[in-house]
């Protein structure tokens, strides 16, 4: 089923750009306010921002205003052009990532066969931005932070990919939209009341994926590259004002987008179990799912980001070598085992 | 001192050799990393110069003095009662504990002793400042290791102790309450009951930190076996306080010396740990905080009645002589060597502060560790900048 109104190409493109901005910035803002400002404060027996707006809800605008007003400081010895590009590369990777996330039966930016593959590929573009941010700052702490980030992000890319392979095997497709459909149209031992969200069958994959996401986002306990208390925020040390704001948005927007991808892969994405309304495939889905779907996605995303932030505010950080050991000696063997198991079960059933 | 010199020379030779080896084998050069003077891990303005090979420290040296305030010299132009307002700024987190050894040294020279009630209250306030000091360490430890939540709990519960100190002395941070011959005032009304309830809160706080931080696997893997100080090395470098006891040396001035304070009136356990690593140092501090709350409660039980001030002349002139008094401060052994020529003020005061000696082990301890462990080790050694630079 398609929208009743057909837009010309330019209008579609404009809508997609605006939709992309909303899909990136709205979750980022919500995450920062709800989790970074409020949840963290409540966990730490304080109130958080209370002055700007009711319960400090306008605090984010105040912060953004502050950052935009700040002087654009750049170290004298920094590689100026590269220094300027770096935060944009990191943010660009977030926008590229959100392009393949489906929000409803027709509410998506693009829908192509190798969506999962594409998502995993563009998610590693941010490594490039972080590495050159660290290198071009002409600061030893930034350099150490950048190198750590590169090592860590590449190490945790692998378990992430391997965790997704299990889902791909089970769904039999790399198309994100079809993965959603496969989960909601699926059944568990003949019972289709819940669909078949892959978190049940792929729980190991889900756990590995979320741990890898935690590391990809450089959130504690894997925040070695930014480590405020030792590297003084690592690759972001020399950034201030507007450029820091871009890094900041990218950090939380990427958290949101990774949570969206995780909810697509493991929690059934935008869908509700098809058996509830007697649908059998994607063509029978009613149009109202294009409105409800994004809301369902948003709810699932918030749940997953809550998990990420909860861990972030609770744990101390790993050391660099412990971090690498955990990736190579625990996560990768576990996810490989998960692939084996999935493949065997796929053949059996 | 020759031993320290030799060690530094050897460390320097080792670093040169490491440089040569690196340049020949890999054609890489070492990097000199300044941790500080402005760095979140140095609690102020300590500078640690590290030569790195990758992320491994080849050679490290602390460079103190960025916050030197010249207290030893300043005491020479103050009268004896005025000195307390200076010296309680040395270790600013446990201020009252800094005043006590100086006052005791002056009392020793004048050959007077504070009345028993004053001694008791002094000891109680001393232990309260220990709790105020070390509870902040327990929270800050989490921040150094990346856990941002415990520090707020530490600040929350430390506030109760500071309120107690304020209500008794009038100053939260710098009480300036100790006088030669006793104390400025007696305790306010209702203070004893309030202290008991706060001590219970503090024990809950210790349990929370024990569960949340010390029981955490990541915390343990970050601190266990990191920065091990063997017993003999700890003794050679003159470590004191929890850093020494964490290396298995059972030495506590509160118990081991006869002094005009009330510690001998109560039984308490001196906690030691055999390992000598970062975890041991943190653990000993945690246990000491808990023990200090118990000491305070026991002292409150046995608080004698009587005056809080002995008979002292209105204008204090300390007779000619020299005296050395040291006590077990929150950071370690702190002592004053006071030389008097019979004037209103001291002729010369030598301050032995714990952090200065504790930090002297850093060049020995930091060789061969990774940058993240530098932070762990510095956090677990626990120094206060004012206590290093004076």
What is the DSSP code string of A209-228? Answer: HHHHHHHHTT-TTS-TTT-H
| Whole-complex ipTM | 0.76
Contact between chains at B371 and A144 (C-beta distance less than 8 A): yes
Q: Nearest by CB to A223, which of B40, B146, B219?
A: B146
Q: Is residue B343 part of a domain?
A: yes
A291, exposed or middle or buried, with CB in 10 Å at 0-12, 13-18, 19+?
exposed
Contact between chains at B148 and A221 (C-beta distance less than 8 A): no
A184, exposed or middle or buried, with CB in 10 Å at 0-12, 13-18, 19+?
buried
Q: Any CB–CB contact under 8 A between B13 and chain A?
A: no
Question: Among candidates A33, A217, A27, A238, which has minimal Cα distance to A127?
Answer: A217
Q: Is residue A319 part of a domain?
A: yes
Q: Any CB–CB contact under 8 A between A153 and chain B?
A: no
> Collapsing DSSP states into helix, strand and coil, what is residue A148?
helix
Confidence of residue A249 (pLDDT cuts 50, 70, 90): confident
Mutate to test the interface with B, among A152, A211, A315, A316 (most CBs of B within 10 A): A316
Find chain B residues with C-beta within 8 A of A44's C-beta: 148-149, 152-153
pLDDT digits (tens, 9 = 90+) for B144-198: 888 888 888 888 888 899 999 999 888 888 888 888 888 888 888 889 899 999 9
Query: How would you write chain B as a 3-class SS string?
Result: CHHHHHHHHHHHHHHHHHHHHHHHHCCCCCEEEEECCCEHHHCECCEEEEEEECCEEEEEEEECCCCCCCHHHHHHHCCHHHHHHHHCCCCCCCHHHHHHHHHHHHHHHHCCCCCHHHHHHHHHHHHHHHHHHHHHHHHHHHHHCCCCCHHHHHHHHHHHHHHHHHHHHCCCCCCCCEECCEECCCCCCCHHHHHHHHHHHHHHHHHHHHHHHHCCHHHHHHHCCCCCCCHHHHHHCCCCCHHHHCCCCCCCHHHHCCCCCHHHHCCCCCCCCCCCCHHHHHHHHHHHHHHHHHHHHHHHHCCCCCCCECCCCCCCCCCCEEEEEEEEECCEEEEEEEEECCCCCCCEEEEECHHHHHHCCHHHHHCCCEHHHHHHHHHHHCCCHHHHHC
Q: How far is A231 from chain B, CA to nearest CA, in Å?
A: 9
Q: Nearest by CB to B153, which of A45, A144, A321?
A: A45
Cβ(A23)–Cβ(A101) under 8 Å?
A: yes
Q: How far is A63 from chain B, CA to nearest CA, in Å?
A: 21
Q: Is residue A177 part of a domain?
A: yes
Dihedral over Cα of A66, A68, A74, A79: its sign: positive
Find chain B residues with C-beta within 8 A of A317's C-beta: 145-147, 218, 222
Closest residue on chain A to B145 (Cα): A316
Q: Residue A318 pLDDT more than 80?
A: yes
Show the domain range for B90.
Answer: 80-355
Q: How far is B218 from chain A, CA to nearest CA, in Å?
A: 6
Q: How far is A29 from chain B, CA to nearest CA, in Å?
A: 22
Q: Any CB–CB contact under 8 A between B372 and chain A?
A: yes
Query: CB-hemisphere CA count at 13 Å for A342?
Result: 25
Cβ(A11)–Cβ(A239) under 8 Å?
A: no
Cβ(A239)–Cβ(A334) under 8 Å?
A: no
Q: Any CB–CB contact under 8 A between A44 and chain B?
A: yes
Contact between chains at B147 and A315 (C-beta distance less than 8 A): yes
Tokens (6 digits) for A105:
């039966």
Find chain B residues with C-beta within 8 A of A227's C-beta: 146, 372
Average pLDDT value for chain B: 85
Q: Any CB–CB contact under 8 A between B130 and chain A?
A: no
Q: CATH number, domain at B137?
A: 1.10.645.10
Q: Any CB–CB contact under 8 A between B20 and chain A?
A: no
Residue A2: per-residue pLDDT: 47
Q: Residue B21 pLDDT more than 80?
A: no
Q: Any CB–CB contact under 8 A between A230 and chain B?
A: yes
Q: Nearest by CB to B370, which of A40, A317, A319?
A: A319
Closest residue on chain B to A226 (Cα): B146
Q: Is residue A3 part of a domain?
A: no
Q: Is residue A187 part of a domain?
A: yes
Find chain B residues with C-beta within 8 A of A146's C-beta: none
Cβ(A100)–Cβ(A260) under 8 Å?
A: no
Residue A105: per-residue pLDDT: 79
Q: Is residue A1 part of a domain?
A: no
Cβ(B363)–Cβ(B62) under 8 Å?
A: yes
Residue B198: per-residue pLDDT: 92
> Collapsing DSSP states into helix, strand and coil, what is residue A197?
coil
Confidence of residue B337 (pLDDT cuts 50, 70, 90): very high
CB atoms within 10 A of CB B212: 18
How much of chain B, in percent, has pLDDT values that exceed 70? 93
Q: Any CB–CB contact under 8 A between B145 and chain A?
A: yes
Contact between chains at A140 and B375 (C-beta distance less than 8 A): no
Q: Is residue A101 part of a domain?
A: yes
Lowest mean pLDDT across A290-294, A303-307, B7-11, B308-312: B7-11
Cα–chain-centroid distance for residue A192? 29
What burial letters (b/e) apply to B153-192, b meaning 16+ CB within 10 Å? bbbbbbebbbebbebbbebbebbbbbbbbbbeebbeeebe
Please report, to the nearest 10 degrees, the dihedral formed by the alpha carbons of residues B212, B213, B215, B219 taken in order: 140
Show the domain range for A320.
Answer: 9-348
- State mean pLDDT over B244-273: 87
Contact between chains at B41 and A322 (C-beta distance less than 8 A): no
Gyration radius (Cα) of chain A, Å: 21
Question: Among candidates B380, B356, B331, B263, which has minimal Cα distance to B94?
Answer: B331
Q: Residue A280 pLDDT more than 80?
A: no
Contact between chains at B149 and A314 (C-beta distance less than 8 A): yes
Q: Is residue B365 part of a domain?
A: no
Q: Is the peptide bond preceding residue A178 cis, with omega within 30 degrees of 0?
A: no
Q: Any CB–CB contact under 8 A between A327 and chain B?
A: no
Residue B9: per-residue pLDDT: 63
Q: Rounded to an integer, what distance in angstroms lies between the CA atom of residue B278 and that of residue B242?
A: 11
Q: Where are the alpha helices (DSSP H) in chain A?
A: 9-31, 40-43, 59-69, 80-98, 115-123, 125-136, 140-171, 176-185, 198-201, 203-216, 228-231, 241-266, 289-314, 320-325, 332-348
Contact between chains at B55 and A144 (C-beta distance less than 8 A): yes
Residue B1: per-residue pLDDT: 38
Q: Any CB–CB contact under 8 A between A144 and chain B?
A: yes
pLDDT digits (tens, 9 = 90+) for A165-203: 888 888 888 888 888 888 887 777 777 777 778 887 888
Dihedral over Cα of B120, B124, B125, B130: its sign: positive
Q: Residue B87 pLDDT more than 60?
A: yes
Residue B24: per-residue pLDDT: 58
Q: Any CB–CB contact under 8 A between A257 and chain B?
A: no
Q: Is residue B245 part of a domain?
A: yes
Confidence of residue B2 (pLDDT cuts 50, 70, 90): very low
Q: Rounded to an integer, what distance in angstroms lies between the CA atom of residue A30 and that of residue A32?
A: 5
Residue A1: per-residue pLDDT: 39
Residue B293: per-residue pLDDT: 92
Dihedral over Cα of B279, B281, B284, B286: its sign: negative
Q: Is residue A117 part of a domain?
A: yes
Cβ(A124)–Cβ(A301) under 8 Å?
A: no
Q: Any CB–CB contact under 8 A between A221 and chain B?
A: yes
Q: Nearest by CB to B40, which of A40, A144, A229?
A: A229
Tokens (6 digits) for B219:
């915390």
Dihedral over Cα of B89, B95, B101, B105: its sign: positive
Q: Which residue has the tokens 């496969």?
A: A182
pLDDT digits (tens, 9 = 90+) for A19-51: 888 888 888 888 888 888 888 888 888 888 888
Residue B7: per-residue pLDDT: 60
Find chain A residues with C-beta within 8 A of B147's C-beta: 220, 314-317
Q: Is residue B323 part of a domain?
A: yes
Q: Any CB–CB contact under 8 A between A224 and chain B?
A: yes
Q: Which residue has the higher pLDDT, A289 or B153?
A: B153
Q: Number of structural domains, chain A?
A: 1
Residue B284: per-residue pLDDT: 92
Mutate to test the interface with B, among A41, A150, A230 (most CBs of B within 10 A): A230
Q: Any CB–CB contact under 8 A between A313 and chain B?
A: yes
Q: Residue A108 pLDDT more than 60?
A: yes
Q: Which residue has the tokens 């653990």?
A: B283
Q: Residue B25 pLDDT more than 70?
A: no
Find chain A residues with C-beta within 8 A of B375's C-beta: 229-230
Q: Number of structural domains, chain B?
A: 1
B324, exposed or middle or buried, with CB in 10 Å at 0-12, 13-18, 19+?
middle
Residue A98: per-residue pLDDT: 86
Residue A5: per-residue pLDDT: 62
CB atoms within 10 A of CB B257: 14
pLDDT digits (tens, 9 = 90+) for A3-16: 556 778 888 888 88
Find chain A residues with C-beta within 8 A of B219's C-beta: 316
Tokens (6 digits) for A140:
């030893």
Q: Is residue A31 part of a domain?
A: yes
Question: Among candidates A265, A264, A260, A292, which has minimal Cα distance to A276?
Answer: A292
Q: Nearest by CB to A232, which of B40, B145, B148?
A: B40
Q: How far is A94 from chain B, CA to nearest CA, in Å?
A: 26
Contact between chains at A315 and B156 (C-beta distance less than 8 A): no
Confidence of residue B11 (pLDDT cuts 50, 70, 90): low
- Please give the model's pTM, rounded to 2 decimal places: 0.82
Q: Which residue has the higher pLDDT, A283 or A66?
A: A66
Q: How far is B34 from chain A, CA to nearest CA, in Å?
A: 9
Q: Rounded to an integer, what distance in angstroms lies between the CA atom of residue B122 and that of residue B87?
A: 16
Residue A129: per-residue pLDDT: 87
Q: Nearest by CB to A318, which of B39, B142, B218?
A: B218
Mutate to test the interface with A, among B37, B49, B146 (most CBs of A within 10 A): B146
Q: Residue B19 pLDDT more than 70?
A: no
Tokens (6 digits) for A81:
């052009």
Size of interface A-B (CB pairs under 8 A): 79
Residue A100: per-residue pLDDT: 86
Q: Which residues contact A98 (CB under 8 A, 6 or more apart)?
A: A20, A23, A24, A109, A257, A260
- State mean pLDDT over B23-49: 74
Q: Residue B23 pLDDT more than 60?
A: no
Find chain B residues with C-beta within 8 A of A315's C-beta: 146-147, 216, 218
């Amino acid at each position: 089923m398609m929208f009743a109104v057909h837009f010309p190409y330019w209008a579609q493109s404009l809508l997609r750009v605006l939709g992309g901005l909303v899909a990136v910035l709205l979750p980022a803002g919500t995450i920062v306010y709800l989790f970074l400002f409020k949840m963290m404060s409540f966990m730490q027996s304080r109130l958080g921002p209370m002055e700007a707006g009711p319960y400090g809800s306008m605090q984010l605008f105040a912060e953004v205003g502050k950052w935009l007003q700040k002087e654009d400081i750049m170290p004298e010895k920094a590689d100026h052009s590269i220094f300027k590009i770096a935060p944009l590369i990191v943010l660009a990777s977030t926008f590229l990532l959100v392009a393949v996330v489906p929000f409803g039966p027709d509410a998506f930016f693009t829908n192509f066969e190798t969506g999962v593959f594409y998502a995993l590929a563009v998610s590693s573009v941010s490594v490039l931005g972080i590495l050159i941010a660290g290198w071009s700052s002409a600061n030893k702490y930034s350099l150490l932070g950048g190198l750590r980030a590169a090592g860590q992000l590449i190490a945790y890319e692998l378990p992430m990919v391997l965790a997704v392979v299990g889902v791909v095997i089970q769904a039999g497709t790399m198309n994100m939209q079809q993965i959603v459909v496969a989960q909601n149209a699926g059944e568990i031992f003949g019972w289709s009341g819940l669909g078949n969200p892959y978190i049940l069958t792929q729980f190991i994959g889900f756990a590995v994926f979320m741990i890898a996401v935690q590391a990809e986002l450089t959130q504690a306990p894997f925040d070695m590259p930014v480590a405020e208390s030792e590297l003084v925020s690592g690759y972001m040390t020399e950034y201030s004002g507007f450029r820091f704001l871009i890094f900041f948005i990218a950090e939380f927007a990427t958290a949101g987008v990774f949570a969206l991808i995780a909810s697509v892969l493991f929690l059934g994405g935008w869908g509700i179990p098809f058996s509830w309304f007697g649908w059998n495939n994607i063509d029978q889905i009613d149009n109202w799912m294009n409105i409800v779907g994004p809301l369902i996605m948003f709810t699932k995303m918030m749940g997953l980001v809550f998990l990420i932030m909860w861990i972030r505010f609770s744990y101390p950080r790993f050391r660099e070598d412990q971090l690498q050991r955990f990736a190579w000696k625990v996560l990768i063997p576990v996810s490989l085992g998960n692939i084996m198991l999935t493949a065997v079960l796929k053949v059996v059933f | 001192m020759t031993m320290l010199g030799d060690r530094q020379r050897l460390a320097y030779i080792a670093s040169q050799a490491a440089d040569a080896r690196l340049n020949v084998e890999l054609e890489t050069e070492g990097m000199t990393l300044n941790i500080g003077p402005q760095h979140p891990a140095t609690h102020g303005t300590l500078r640690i110069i590290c030569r790195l090979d990758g992320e491994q420290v080849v050679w490290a040296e602390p460079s103190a003095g960025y916050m030197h305030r010249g207290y030893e010299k300043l005491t020479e132009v103050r009268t004896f009662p005025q000195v307390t307002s200076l010296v309680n700024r040395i270790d600013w987190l446990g201020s009252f504990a800094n005043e006590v050894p100086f006052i005791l040294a002056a009392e020793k020279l004048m050959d007077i002793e504070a009345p028993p009630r004053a001694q008791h209250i002094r000891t109680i306030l001393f232990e309260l400042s220990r709790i105020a000091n070390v509870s902040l360490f327990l929270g800050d430890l989490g921040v150094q290791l990346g856990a941002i939540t415990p520090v707020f709990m530490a600040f929350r519960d430390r506030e109760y102790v500071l309120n107690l100190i304020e209500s008794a002395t009038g100053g939260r941070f710098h009480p300036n309450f100790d006088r030669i011959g006793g104390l400025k005032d007696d305790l306010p009304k209702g203070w004893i009951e309030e202290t008991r309830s706060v001590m219970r809160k503090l024990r809950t706080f210790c349990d929370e930190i024990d569960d949340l931080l010390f029981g955490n696997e990541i915390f343990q893997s970050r601190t266990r076996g990191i920065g091990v100080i063997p017993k003999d090395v700890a003794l050679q470098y003159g470590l004191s306080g929890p850093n020494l006891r964490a290396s298995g040396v059972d030495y506590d001035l509160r118990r081991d010396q006869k002094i005009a304070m009330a510690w001998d009136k109560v039984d308490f356990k001196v906690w030691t740990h055999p390992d000598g690593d970062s975890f041991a140092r943190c653990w000993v501090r945690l246990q000491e905080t808990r023990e200090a709350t118990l000491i305070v409660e026991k002292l409150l039980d046995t608080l004698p009645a009587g005056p809080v001030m002995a008979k002292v002349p209105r204008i204090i002139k300390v007779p000619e002589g020299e005296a050395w008094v040291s006590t077990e401060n929150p950071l370690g052994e702190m002592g004053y060597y006071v030389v008097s020529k019979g004037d209103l003020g001291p002729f010369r005061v030598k301050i032995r502060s714990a952090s200065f000696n504790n930090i002297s082990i850093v060049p020995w301890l930091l060789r061969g560790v990774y940058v993240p462990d530098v932070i762990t080790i510095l956090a677990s050694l626990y120094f206060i900048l004012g206590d290093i630079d004076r």
